[in-house]
Structure 1
């Protein structure tokens, strides 16, 4: 039986950094977006409940597929085990290293 890989996707969203785990990610047909599917969250049987992961679980509860702008992606890792999702606030003035932005289309020649 082949081992199932997980992807850790870290992205910037409305002055917060999200760290989520998913089973499938790929480049979207919509230009400039990454598609994230099959979100994975920790088991509810744990005694301690992480409020950050609970927030993510509630936010993505009914989401089948999420389209994340490439400019918002900070990092994508393929990992062997899922971890705990997190939401971290970013203070004003903090710098976040993101993927480089896509260059615009060249202007038509006149």
Structure 2
């Protein structure tokens, strides 16, 4: 679960399709697309136990052929540099989470 070398590991939490994704990656940048965070070099947990987390397996299959993904900045909840890799997971969003930011320009009602 720890890194074999001194490369930093980032825990990226973001919202997608009404769910909160938590991924561990080694590459993180602002990206070349304006308004997007570029993440790559995904770090997956190698299960040594019999118990398998279905949300972790869903993430592995969803990102199996992906080398980089671009997440809209307004969907990112948090980015942490961590010492140890945890388990990637998908969790449902509670009703208390609100979308941010709201649209700046709204059409005028006439």
Q: State the TM-score bracket (shorter-chain normalisation).
A: 0.7 to 0.9
In the alignment, is the contact (CA less than 8 A) between 1:56 and 1:86 conserved in 2?
Answer: yes
For 1:56, the equivalent position in structure 2 comes to 59
The CA distance in 2 between the partners of 1:2 and 1:88, in whole Å, is 30
Runs (4+) off by over 6 Å: none
In structure 2, runs of 5+ residues without a counterpart are 106-110
Of residues 26, 31, 41, the one that matches 2:29 is: 26
Which of 95, 98, 102 aligns to 2:97? It is 95
On the 8 A contact 1:8/1:20 being kept in 2, the answer is yes
Which residue in 1 is equivalent to 2:68? Answer: 65
Over aligned residues, Cα RMSD in angstroms? 2.3
Q: How many residues align?
A: 101
Q: Distance in 1 between matches of 2:75 and 2:84?
A: 24
Deviates more, 1:57-66 or 1:40-49: 40-49
